[in-house]
Amino acid sequence: MGTYVPGTGEEQKELLKSLGVAGMEELFVTIPKEVRLNGPLKIPDGVSELQVRKKMAGTAGENRVFPSLFRGCGAYRHYIPSIVKQVAAKEEFMTAYTPYQAEISQGTLQAIFEFQTMICDLTGLNAANASVYDGCTAAAEAVIMCRERKRNKVLLSGALNPQIIETVKTYMAGTGTEIIVVPAADGVTDKTELKRLLDEKTACFLIQQPNHYGLLEDYEELGKLTKEAGAKYVMSCNPILLGILKTPGEYGADIAVGEGQSLGLSLSYGGPYLGFMAAVSELMRKLPGRIAGQTLDTRGEKAYVLTLQAREQHIRREKAASSICSNEALCALTASVYMSVMGKEGLRQAATLSMSKAHYLAEKLCGLEGFSMAYEGDYVNEFTTVYKGNTEKLLRGLEDYGILGGLPLKGEDRGKIIWCATELNSKEEIDELIDRIKEVQTHEAGI
């Protein structure tokens, strides 16, 4: 049995003795007998570090890591510079708690302040928080920020990542807020429908840049319509692409949110990830979660603290803006290091490479038998194709070559595949994908 208790045996006895207690059981006398466990827990006996590492290595080995990957839809395999992982692994950052004691937590606090600044710079807005759980919950929190007594209708673009829609729905269920999904047409939000649905009861409209299908929408016009109805305009963005795309700030958005995983975090089967949130200054006090602020210390020197805590659960309890307490601080730090290493040029390069590779991939794919683009609009790093053959067989066939193809859609979108490319997909890899698709197609035709 492994243990992290320093003193077993003799030492335990010493401690018990100094407490005047005969045995461990006596320490638990306040627990009613009826609820005390009689037997041992039915959990395998503990093992040595060597054994547990071996077992878990075996479990990890039961997962297939695809050397070549063309799938995104909310989780992206971008290049992670070596120094990013190395800095984020520093024990001090790893093993600290939330920076309640500012004097011995200036490192964490300054890092949050820097992260907030970077998110503001990326989004073109002026107030950001220290992070929330992930991109989906960031969207839900943004919707909560927008609710007003007289505005309890929330419009969601039908071209949002479905997980965002689902999460917002769960968050708002039973709170008296009406959630309406504005249908998509040709892969983008139907403007006419949006116009029809917007009214004086609308709290906000939430849209994605680029959207679930990879398309860029008419954010200018959609924002105008939303603002005209007096509703808040919320954009969910891909942070790396904000290196080149027009910002929520420029589009007049009130709030920008997004999934920060691309900024130096590994895929990790979905988590830990990083929800980021930024808003116009007027909404600063409505932001949920931790916010670091600058101030002065008793010596007159610059210092950082957690601030605007009056919004938070430990002060306001049931009247708090959100119940969030732990967030994704270490992921935010990781993203900060990533952005410091990349800088604006690096972000631009990552975005441009991803875009160019995606376009090359799309062109090559559409040169193949049975493939065509699902939609006509502009796209960046992701796009959707229609495939006339059997998508399942196609993708399984590619997996045998170590390639994870795009994401096959279900239901009415059956036959569509959302593809993604990043700077990690070399031309060679894309060309190989194309060759393999041909092989799979030939093979299938042959049988």
Partner 1 sequence: MKLVFEKTREGRGSVLLPPLDVPETELKACFKREKELHLEALPETDISRHYTELADRVYGVNNGFYPLGSCTMKYNPKVNDEVAGFSGFTDIHPLQPDYTVQGALKVLSEAEEYLGEITGMEHFTFQPAAGAHGEFTGLKLIKAYHEKQGDIKRNKIIVPDSAHGTNPASAAMAGFEVINIPSNEKGLVDVAALKRAVGEDTAGFMLTNPNTLGLFDENILEITRVVHEAGGLNYYDGANLNAIMGIARPGDMGFDVMHLNLHKTFSTPHGGGGPGSGPVGCKEILAPFLPLPRVKKDGGNYILSDEGEDSIGRVRGFYGNFLVVVRALTYILTLGGDGLKLTSQNAVLNANYLMEGLKDTYPVPFAGPCMHEFVISLEELKKETGVSALDMAKALLDYGVHPPTMYFPLIVHEAFMLEPTETESKENLDRVIAIYKELYEEARKNPEDIKNSPKKTVIGRPDEVMAARNPVIRYEFPSA
In the list 68, 142, 143, 144, the residue contacting partner 1 (rule: CB under 8 A) is 144
The residues in 78-97 that bind partner 1, with binding defined as CB under 8 A, are 79, 81-83, 85-87, 89-97
Q: Between 34 and 91, name the residue whose CB sits nearer to its own copies.
A: 91
* Length reported for the chain: 447
Nearer to its own copies, 43 or 50 (CB): 50
Lookup: tokens for 235? 């954009």
- 180: three-class secondary structure by DSSP: strand
Is residue 446 a contact point for partner 1 (CB under 8 A)?
no
Our CB check for its own copies shows the closer of 12 and 48 to be: 48
The two most distant CA atoms of the chain are separated, in Å, by 82
Q: Alpha-carbon distance 433 to 419, whole Å?
A: 12
Site for its own copies in 401-440 (CB under 8 A): 423-424
Establish if 81 lies at the interface with its own copies (CB under 8 A): yes
Using rule CB under 8 A, residue 79 touches its own copies: yes
Binding of residue 175 to its own copies (CB under 8 A)? no
Instruction: Determine the size of the site formed for partner 1 (CB under 8 A).
Output: 213
Q: Which of residues 20-59 bind its own copies (CB under 8 A)?
A: 49-50, 53
Give yes or no for a contact between 288 and 137, defined as CB atoms under 8 angstroms apart: no
Paired with 417 in beta bridges are 385, 408
Angle (CA) 186-187-192 rounded to 5° is 65
366 binds, among partner 1, its own copies, none (CB under 5 to 8 A by kind): none
Tell me if 257 contacts partner 1 by CB under 8 A: no
Selection from its own copies, partner 1, none that 194 binds (CB < 5 to 8 A by kind) is: none
Q: How many Å from the N-terminal Cα to the C-terminal Cα in the chain? A: 55
Residues 192-211 that bind partner 1 (CB under 8 A): none
Considering the rule CB under 8 A, would residue 366 count as an interface residue with partner 1?
A: no
What is the nearest approach in angstroms of partner 1 to the Cβ of residue 298?
4
Residue 90 CB, shortest distance to its own copies, in Å, is 8
Q: Is residue 401 close enough to count as binding partner 1 by CB under 8 A? A: no
Q: What kind and span of H or E run contains 286? A: none
Shortest CB 102 distance to partner 1, Å: 5
Site residues (CB under 8 A) for its own copies, limited to 358-387: none
User: Of the listed pieces 183-191, 225-233, 335-343, 437-445, which binds partner 1 according to CB under 8 A?
Assistant: 335-343
Strand-pair category, 202-209 with 153-157: parallel
Separation CA 224–CA 208 (nearest Å): 16
As a whole number of angstroms, the distance between CA 340 and CA 87 comes to 12
Tell the residue number behind the tokens 């998110």, with chain if given: 119
Is 276:258 a contact under the CB 8 Å cutoff? yes
61 near partner 1 (CB under 8 A): yes
**How many other C-beta atoms are found inside a 10 Å radius of the C-beta of residue 325?**
12
Question: 3-class DSSP state for residue 305?
Answer: strand
Among 86, 294, 295, 326, binds its own copies (CB under 8 A): 86
Q: Which is nearer to its own copies, 82 or 298 (by Cβ)?
A: 82
- Kind plus residue range of the DSSP H or E element containing 103: none
Q: Does 344 bind its own copies (CB under 8 A)?
A: no
The tokens for 372 are 């065509």
Give the nearer residue to partner 1 in terms of CB position, either 131 or 229.
131
Sign of CA dihedral 58, 59, 63, 65: negative
Stretch that binds its own copies, among 85-93, 141-149, 267-275, 285-293 (CB under 8 A): 85-93
- Least distance between partner 1 and beta carbon 150 (Å): 18
**The tokens 């302040």 sit on which residue?**
113
| Selected binder of partner 1 within 380, 403, 417, 440 (CB under 8 A) | 380
Q: How many CB atoms within 10 Å of residue 45?
A: 7
What residue 328 binds from partner 1, its own copies, none (CB within 5 to 8 A, per partner kind)? partner 1
Q: Which of residues 34-53 bind partner 1 (CB under 8 A)?
A: 34-37, 40-53
Buried/exposed 146-175: b ≥16 CB within 10 Å, e otherwise: bbeeebebbbbbbbbbbbbbebbbebbeee
The secondary element (H helix, E strand) that includes residue 288 is none
Q: Tell me the C-alpha distance between 214 and 228, whole Å.
A: 27
Contacts of 96 by beta carbon, 8 Å cutoff, 6+ apart = 105, 108
| Region of 16-24, 145-153, 185-193, 383-391 interacting with partner 1 (CB under 8 A) | 16-24
| 256 touches partner 1 by CB under 8 A | no
Q: Could you tell me the two tokens for 294?
A: 């600058």
> Which residues contact its own copies (rule: CB under 8 A)?
49-50, 53, 79, 81-82, 86, 90-91, 423-424
